[in-house]
Amino acid sequence: AQSVTQLGSHVSVSEGALVLLRCNYSSSVPPYLFWYVQYPNQGLQLLLKYTTGATLVKGINGFEAEFKKSETSFHLTKPSAHMSDAAEYFCAVSGDNQGGKLIFGQGTELSVKP
């Protein structure tokens, strides 16, 4: 079975500060991991993904995430927050035995203060 836990339903940072959104997963098979972003009143957009290979993955809008198997984590970071980063962020996990289904975390709402 697979599951995802996102620590913190709300995170607030100042513009220019580091963004760190935490995601821990459990999986009985090698995981495929995803971060999605949802802007108000819109659908979900893929930020980045890890399937195999390099454990540090870079995504759109300056975000990156590192797959740490020993910590079962896939935290999302951005060195310097911008006002336009305010949105809800979802971590998701899948695997070869999931038939393409994703298991989502409950989401973290990011606020950026001027």
Two tokens, residue 29: 């098979």
Residues 59, 64, 66, 107: which binds other proteins (CB under 8 A)?
A: 107
Residues 7, 17, 86, 102: which binds other proteins (CB under 8 A)?
A: 102
Going by their DSSP bridges, the two strands 108-113 and 10-14 should be labelled as: parallel
Q: One symbol per residue from 56 to 95: x for binding other proteins (CB under 8 A), - otherwise; what is it?
A: ----------------------------------x---x-
Q: What end-to-end distance do the CA atoms of the chain give, in Å?
A: 41
Residues 17, 51, 72, 77: which binds other proteins (CB under 8 A)?
A: 51
| 4 within 8 A of 101, measured Cβ to Cβ | no
- How many angstroms from the chain centroid is the CA of residue 49? 9
Q: What does the binding site for other proteins look like in residue numbers (CB under 8 A)?
A: 9, 32, 34, 36, 41-46, 49, 51, 90, 94, 98-102, 104-107
